[in-house]
Structure 1
Amino acid sequence: MSSDDDTQTAIDDALVPRLRVIEDQPLPSRAEAYAQVHDELRQLLEGGDVPRTHG
């Protein structure tokens, strides 16, 4: 298993329980928590972008 696979497994293992906790919260808190998860995942995905050079 590669390092990327290990990282993905760790993220998956942490995300599912976190989402279950969020689902048990009242709606206003749930919305805020989902927004935070969204922002964290976006940063994680965008952080993997490598700028391309033309030439």
Structure 2
Amino acid sequence: MAMDEADARREDLLSALEVIEEQPLAERAAAYANLHDDLARRLESGPRDPAA
């Protein structure tokens, strides 16, 4: 992954977190759970290290 792509993903994550933090508590909790699920799916679908 190129550094520009990594920077863009980092900025997207920070933007999502800012939006979540502006929500009322109940909605914030659900939004964090959704974000967690999305990030977990991305990690699980990523390339695997065959040496691990």
Shorter-chain TM range is 0.7 to 0.9
Deviations 1:2-53 (A, max 9, x none): xx1343222111010110111111111000100111011101111114385x
Divergent runs of 4+, >6 A: none
Give the total of aligned pairs. 49
Percentage identity across paired residues of the two chains: 43
Question: Which residue is 1:8 aligned to?
Answer: 6
TM-score of the two chains, using structure 2 as the length reference? 0.76
- Give the TM-score normalised by structure 1: 0.72
Unaligned stretches of 5+ in structure 1? none
Q: Which runs of 5+ in 2 are unaligned?
A: none
CA RMSD after TM alignment: 1.6
